[in-house]
Chains A and B, each alone.
Chain A
Amino acid sequence: MRFSIYRYNPETDKKPYMQDYDVDVKEYNCQMVLDALMAIKNHMDDTLSFRRSCREGVCGSDGMNINGKNGLACTMPLTSLNEPIVIRPLPGLPVSRDLIVDMSQFYKQYEKVHPYLQNNEPLPAKERLQSPEERAKLDGLYECILCACCSTSCPSFWWNPEKFVGPAGLLQAYRFIADSRDTETNTRLAGLADPFSVFRCRGIMNCVDVCPKGLNPTKAINHIKELMLAETV
Chain B
Amino acid sequence: MVKSVLGVNHRGLRDWIVQRVSAIMLAIYFVGMSAYILTHPQLDYQTWHSLFSHAWMKISTLIFILALLFHAWVGMWTIFTDYIKQAGLSFLLQILVIVGLIACFFWALQILWGI
Give A residues with C-beta under 8 Å from B.
155-156, 159-160, 186, 189-190, 192-200, 225, 228-229, 231-232
Which residues does chain A contribute within 8 Å of B81, judged by CB atoms? Answer: 160, 195-196
Residue of B nearest to A197 (CB): B12
Query: Which of B2-10, B29-37, B92-100 is found at the contact surface with chain A?
Result: B2-10
The 5 closest A-B pairs by CB, nearest first: A193-B10, A199-B12, A195-B12, A186-B5, A159-B82
Q: Is the CB of B12 within 8 A of A189?
A: no
Among candidates A159, A194, A200, A231, residue contacting B4 with C-beta atoms closer than 8 Å: A231
Interface contact B82-A232, CB-CB below 8 Å: no
- B17 close to A194 (CB less than 8 A): no
Asked if B113 lies at the interface with its beta carbon under 8 angstroms from chain A, I say no
Given the known interface contacts A156-B82, A228-B10, A232-B10, the answer about A190 and B15 at a Cβ–Cβ threshold of 8 Å is: no
Closest A residue to B19 by beta carbon equals: A199
- Docked-complex contact B5 and A229, CB < 8 angstroms: no
Find the B residue at minimum CB distance from A159.
B82
**Chain A positions within 8 Å of B6 at CB level:** 186, 189-190, 193, 228, 231-232
Instruction: Report how far A200 CA is from B11 CA in the complex, Å.
Output: 12
Q: B13 and A190: CB pair below 8 A?
A: no
Interface residues as binary, B10-44 with A (CB distance below 8 Å gives 1, 0 otherwise)? 11110111000000000000000000000000000
Residue in B4, B5, B13, B83 whose beta carbon sits within 8 Å of that of A199 in the complex: B13
Q: How far is the CA of A183 from the CA of B16 in the complex (A)?
A: 26
Chain B residue numbers with a CB within 8 Å of A200 are 78
In Å, the complex CA distance between A198 and B81 comes to 15
Q: How far is the CA of A160 from the CA of B10 in the complex (A)?
A: 18
The answer to whether B82 touches A160 (Cβ under 8 A) is yes
Chain B residue contacts of A197, Cβ below 8 A:
12
B10 touches A190 (CB 8 A): yes
